[in-house]
Chain A
Amino acid sequence: MHTVQSGYSLTLEVDEDKLEALSNWLTDIGKDPANNSRIPFSKCKSTLYCSIVTVPVQQRTEKSKKLPAMLMFLSSISGPQKVHIQELVEHAGDGMREMLSFCKGVDAGKIASDKGLYNFLNRKKVSDTFYTGIQYMTYDDIDRENQLRDKLEAHIDQQQSSGNPAYTESSGNWATNLRNELVNYVASNQDTNWATKKWKKGFANAWVNNITLIRTFIFILCIGLITLAARHFEVPYLDELWHYFWKVAGIGVGLILLLLILNDFRNHYVIKGLKLEKFKEVNAHQTNPVINEVTLAGPLRVGWIRRIGFYLILKLAKLLKFALKIPTVVCARWIPMNSSQRLVFISNFSNTSEGYVRDFIDSKSRGRKINLIFGQGYGYPKTLLLVLKGAIDNPIPFVNDVYHNQHITQVWYSPFKNLTVDNIKINRQIRLGLAGNMTETEAREWLKLL
């Protein structure tokens, strides 16, 4: 079974008059997300993080279309989605049914059985663009690799205080020798000897993680092969067909880009100020010392082209996710909710919201990427050519916009609340360094991780 991480995203409409009751119901679960009786996440080991949050009815202006109240269940998981859904049905079936009873269009009869609930949860999941900084890691991996590091650190402390020269002197092949000492320690300990076995990414992981890219590649390859075959068999009008295809495709892409750029010139609404209460409310919910969670949801800018643009940008980001790097984020996702009329973003990040938001725009290159995605949102500072200006030149409206669109997450499950993405990655590198052989130079670099 693969351990590729992905987002399971369930977004459902909620009756406005049930929204408060649902919010209270969720807040109760939020008191103990791991072990509450309704949705006990600690029993669902495929879950790494989960946010459950309600979003009220939103509209750009009084005259514009109302976007409905929503429930968002957004879990970050490792392994197949089917396993995750099965775990939810098995360990939190009644809780999920109760939660769904607040939502529109849910037939209680159809989800009464486990199979019915499974089918519903599987069918209703929505597409997202998911990012993780800790790909392929499972709950158990993160947990035991952190414990492994604790044990290694304690062992090193002990050896140093007892004056073991391997831990205090650096002569000859000192790094190789010390690494061997550590490997022997780990191998001789029942709790840790698993770490000396080599970890392999595996074919299943590589395949599943790159499936979108592989599909795209196969599609292009098929087109190429068909073209070659057609040319071989001298199919008439082939060159003309290609000629027109490229023309149409080029014009299509160019037109969308042009319309988006032209849309940038519209007199878009830019958020001016924000009430102190909103800052207070958001900040009061993000006081964890190490990582915190943020949920943003808001309407897109005016213009149908924005919906198309946002959808395509997310698709492109999904395709090129291997190139995405967000240094302070464990995992995040974007969703084009309500038929791409709403921009949804959630993130589990290092630091507090105030610092995190700053991190986005402290460098111009990062600011341009932020402009491209978040610049589609209503109230965002005015962008030029999609990536210029925006948050880069207008940090204050940007911060106001981010705060304005934040919603208080009623349930945040985070079993690794005190580990940043860097901590988890370093723990993994330490573990990987315990298997196989290393040169003296490699061993020296590896020892710096501890």
Chain B
Amino acid sequence: MNTQNIEKGDIQGLLTRAYGKLTGAVYTLLKFDDSEKAKTYLSALADRLNTCDVRPGNGEAINLALTCRGLSHLNLSEDIINTFPFEFIEGMNNDVRKIMLGDTGPNDPANWVWGGNNKEDIHALLLVFGEDQAKANEVYQREKDVFSSAGISEVLSQEGCMLPEGREHFGFRDGISRPAIEGLHPKGGESENNPFKSGEFVLGYKNEYDNYSVGPRVNAPGSQTGLPSYEPDPQYSDLGKNGSFLIYRQMEQNVPQFWDYLAKQAKDNEETIKIASKMVGRWPSGTALVLSPDKDTTNPDESMKQERVSNKFGYWNEDKDGMKCPYGSHIRRTNPRDWLYTEKKSDVATEMVRKHAILRRGRAYGKPLTPDMETNNMIEKSKELNGINDGEKRGLHFIALVGHINRQFEFVQNAWVKSPNFAGMRTETDPLIGPREVADRDLAHPDNHISRPTQANVVPCAHFTFPDKPIRKRYHNVPQFTTVIGGAYFFMPGIRALKYIAS
């Protein structure tokens, strides 16, 4: 597959760009009350959506994604809906999936603000971006005026923001590691020399298996539907082509708790930052521990240049035993690169890890703990607050795009992030985003025996260990710093597909 074959004009823009210059964002969850009117709105919206082939003009951009329930409400036939992958149909809050994802205990969908089992149906996600927040709000208001009169109600609307120097709320530079993708954005990122096949992220193209991911199709040839032919079987039309699956999880971050806990484990701020960096796998500046294990050597004046450099590293040759970047750190769990504990060869590990990549497009929400986000100031403020949150709701709109939800996002979450036994460990999960206990059943409803009718098996995972000399350091009773408060799986269709759905 080469660049020319990719229909950039039919692919929504979020797949190629994070809209980094559009610093304002509004994420709106929608519900279709009147399907016919909603279709009219979506049909018109399809022409206003930003695509990959054109840079956003007028300092604004709009994209849209639909849930499985949303597609049903738009009267898409059951035959077509059943061609979507089963995890998309089941949804993130499904009784089994939530266990697999580690959404038990505080993360349980029963506690979610949106998307939970007892919450209002979510049918669509409207993503609006503006050159600043005022512009984003203006575009959102403009759209709201239109969709409100089209039988569509707003379930929840939230702003997304970009924190100073591209940091997330704990104070670490984020969004450094992004996959290079053939035909979409082949340059930059750790995989620049070997970009990912576009089918890993966009449906209708070949993926890393040299095959096509499961996408929706219509039982009629393209000549009848106006859709492209379904490559594996031309008697069908490809409803998925140029679309992608969008994972949206809202994760609340308890920043004072994070820094206060770490400060209590350390003798001074320097050590506090070191432990935090061991948990993340990078220094707050974004410099990878593998490249600079003892102290942050980033020159602040050249930090943007170094950002690229600091992403070109592996673990196999540089840090096989985790002495620099612990096995259990956030970045090593979510992207083990060329290393897997179970594998004996780097190339096999790389080949396997590449089957589980995700394209992140999220943004923060809420005000930072301190306006400058200087790490020492955040530590002091957290100590002042004694680890109790200051009342500000802050966190991350985690948004990721994949061609296969189960193989990519769910695998990473299940086998790497929330696994207490990742890389031979026993009682720890991802220190930043992992739950502190994992269970074989729904802990909110322990009598709901969806699994074997035996006693519930709950594994506590409140440790964090990092290898050190003379021997590892282990931290106990690590609080759960991040709580999932909402989430859903969406399908972000290509423009033609959206028009078909709205027809």
- Interface residues in chain A, defined as those with a beta carbon under 8 Å from any beta carbon in chain B: 27, 30-33, 153, 156-157, 160, 166-170, 174-175, 178, 276, 279-280, 283-285, 287-290, 325, 327-328, 350-352, 354-355, 358-359, 361-366, 392-396, 412, 417-420, 422-423, 426, 447-448, 450
A310 to B410, CA, bound (A): 34
A326–B498 Cα distance when bound, in Å, is: 44
A-B contact pairs, 16 of them (CB 8 A): A157-B474, A167-B470, A174-B470, A178-B471, A279-B86, A284-B96, A284-B450, A287-B100, A289-B457, A289-B459, A325-B344, A352-B100, A358-B407, A365-B348, A418-B421, A422-B342
Q: Which of B49-57, B221-229, B435-443 contacts A (4 or more CB under 8 A)?
A: B435-443
In the complex the two chains form, is A168's CB within 8 Å of B470's CB? yes
Write out, one digit per residue, whether chain B residues 459-474 have a CB within 8 A of any chain A CB (1) or not (0).
Answer: 1000000010111111
Contact A170 B352 (CB under 8 A): no
Asked whether, in the complex, the Cβ of B415 is within 8 Å of the Cβ of A327, the reply is no
Are A420 and B421 neighbours in the complex by a CB distance under 8 Å? yes
Which B residues lie within 8 Å of A290 (CB)?
Answer: 419-421, 459
Which residues of B have CB within 8 Å of A328? 342
Decide: B470 and A288 in contact? CB cutoff 8 A.
Answer: no
Asked if B341 contacts A289 (CB within 8 A), the reply is no
Tell me, yes or no, whether B178 is within 8 Å of chain A by CB: no
Q: How far is the CB of A446 from chain B (nearest CB, A)?
A: 10
In the complex, which residues of chain B have a beta carbon less than 8 angstroms from the beta carbon of A412? 452
B69-77, B208-216, B290-298, B329-337 - interface stretch: B208-216
A447 and B214 within 8 A (CB): no
Flag whether B312 is at the interface (Cβ < 8 A).
no
Residue of A whose beta carbon sits closest to that of B347: A363
User: Which of A359, A392, A395 counts the most B-chain CB atoms under 10 A from its CB?
Assistant: A395
- Across the interface, which residues of A come within 8 angstroms of B441, CB to CB? 287
B97's nearest neighbour on chain A, judged by CB, is A283
Query: B500 near A: Cβ within 8 Å?
Result: no
Query: Which chain A residue lies CB-closest to B85?
Result: A396
List the B side residues contacting A450 at CB < 8 Å. 471-472
Write out the residue numbers on chain A whose beta carbons fall within 8 Å of the beta carbon of B426. Answer: 418-419, 423
* B411 touching A422, Cβ below 8 Å: no
Q: With A and B bound together, what is the CA distance between A111 and B164 in angstroms?
A: 77
A113 vs B190: C-alpha distance when bound (angstroms): 68
Tell me which of B351, B410, B469 has the highest count of chain A C-beta atoms within 10 A of its own C-beta. Answer: B469
> A31 with B470: in contact, given A289-B439, A290-B420, A352-B414 (CB under 8 Å)?
no
Q: Which residue of B lies closest to A417 (CB)?
A: B457
Chain B nearest CB from A414 CB (Å) reads: 10
User: Is B476 an interface position by the 8 A CB rule?
Assistant: yes
Query: A30-B453, A352-B100, A422-B341 provided; 8 other pairs, C-beta below 8 A?
Result: A178-B471, A285-B452, A288-B451, A362-B352, A393-B210, A395-B407, A412-B452, A418-B420
Report Cα–Cα, A290/B461, bound state, in Å: 12
A-B CB proximity, top 4 nearest: A327-B342, A362-B352, A170-B469, A289-B438
B424 contacts A422, C-beta separation under 8 Å: yes
| B411: chain A residues within 8 A (beta carbon) | 354-355, 358
Which residue among A31, A157, A288, A426 has the maximum number of chain B CB atoms within 10 Å of its CB? Answer: A288
Tell me if B111 is interfacial: C-beta within 8 Å of chain A: no
Total contacts A-B at CB 8 Å: 137
- B351 engages A350 (CB within 8 Å): no
Residue numbers in A under 8 Å from B415 (CB-CB)? 351, 355
Q: What residues on A are CB-neighbors of B89 within 8 Å?
A: 276
- Contacting residues, chain B, for A393 (C-beta < 8 A): 209-211
Interface flags for B464-503 (1: CB within 8 Å of A; 0: not) read 0001011111101000000000000000000000000000
B454 contacts chain A at the CB level, 8 A cutoff: yes
Q: CB-CB < 8 A to B120: which residues of A?
A: none
Q: How far is the CA of A435 from the CA of B348 in the complex (A)?
A: 35
In the bound complex, what is the Cα–Cα distance between A450 and B321 (angstroms)? 12
Which chain A positions have C-beta within 8 A of B209? 361, 392-393, 395
Docked-complex contact B469 and A174, CB < 8 angstroms: yes
A287 touches B476 (CB 8 A): no
- B90 at interface, CB cutoff 8 A: yes
Query: B467 and A423: CB pair below 8 A?
Result: no
- Assuming A160-B473, A351-B419, A447-B470, is B451 touching A284 (CB within 8 A)? yes
Cβ-defined contact, A276 with B471, below 8 A: no
B37 at the interface (CB under 8 A from A): no
For the complex formed, measure the closest distance between the CB of A278 and the CB atoms of chain B, giving whole angstroms: 9
Closest residue to B454 on the A side, CB-wise?
Answer: A31
- Quote the shortest CB–CB distance from A404 to chain B (angstroms): 13
* Distance A156 CA – B406 CA, assembled complex (angstroms): 39
| B38: chain A residues within 8 A (beta carbon) | none
Q: In the complex, what residues of A have CB within 8 A of residue B450's CB? A: 284, 287
With A and B bound together, what is the CA distance between A111 and B457 in angstroms? 37
Q: Is B34 an interface residue (CB 8 A)?
A: no
Q: Which residues of A contact B213 (CB under 8 A)?
A: 396
CA–CA, A33 to B82, complex, Å? 38
Q: How far is it, in angstroms, between the C-alpha of A153 and the C-alpha of B459 when the chains are bound? A: 17
- What's the nearest-Cβ distance from chain A to residue B202, in Å? 17
**B308 contacts chain A at the CB level, 8 A cutoff:** no
The yes or no answer to B99 lying at the interface (CB within 8 A) is yes
A423 pairs with B421, CB closer than 8 A: yes
Please report which residues of chain B, range 260-301, place their CB below 8 angstroms from some CB of chain A when the two chains form the complex: none
Given A328-B342, A393-B210, A153:B474 Cβ within 8 A = yes
Instruction: Give the complex CA separation of A27 and B451 in angstroms.
Output: 12
**Given known contacts A276-B89, A290-B420, A358-B355, is B214 in contact with A396 (CB within 8 Å)?**
yes
Whether a CB of chain A sits under 8 angstroms from the CB of B318 is no
What's the nearest-Cβ distance from chain A to residue B353, in Å?
8
A-contacting residues, B168-227, CB 8 Å: 209-211, 213-214
Shortest distance from the beta carbon of B408 to any chain A beta carbon, whole Å: 10
Query: Are A288 and B407 interface neighbours, CB within 8 A?
Result: no
B355, B410, B459: the one within 8 Å of A418 (CB): B459
Q: Residues of B contacting A27 with CB < 8 Å?
A: 453
Chain B residues closer than 8 Å to A352, beta-carbon distance = 100, 414
Give the Cβ gap from B498 to chain A, nearest Cβ, in Å: 25
8 Å CB contact of A426 from B419, B424, B476: B424
CB neighbours (8 Å) of A284 from chain B are 95-96, 450-451
Complex interface: chain A residues within 8 A of B344 (CB): 325
User: Cα distance A276–B214 when bound, in Å?
Assistant: 14
Q: Are A394 and B211 in contact (CB under 8 A)?
A: yes
Chain A's closest residue to B213 (CB) is: A396
Chain B residues with CB under 8 A of A358: 355, 407, 411
Inter-chain contacts of A166 with B (CB < 8 A): 470
Tell me whether B343 is interfacial, beta carbon within 8 Å: yes
Chain B residues within an 8 Å CB radius of A359: 352
Give the chain B neighbours of A327 by CB distance below 8 A.
Answer: 342-343
Q: Which residue of B lies closest to A165 (CB)?
A: B470
Q: A156 with B471: in contact, given A287-B99, A422-B342, A448-B321 (CB under 8 Å)?
A: yes
Residues 417-457 of B, flagged 1 when their CB comes within 8 A of A and 0 if not, give 00111011010000000000011110000000011111001
Which residues from chain A contact B459 at a C-beta distance below 8 Å? 289-290, 418
In the complex, the answer to whether B424 meets A423 with C-beta atoms within 8 Å is: yes
Residues of B within 8 Å of A364, CB to CB, are: 351
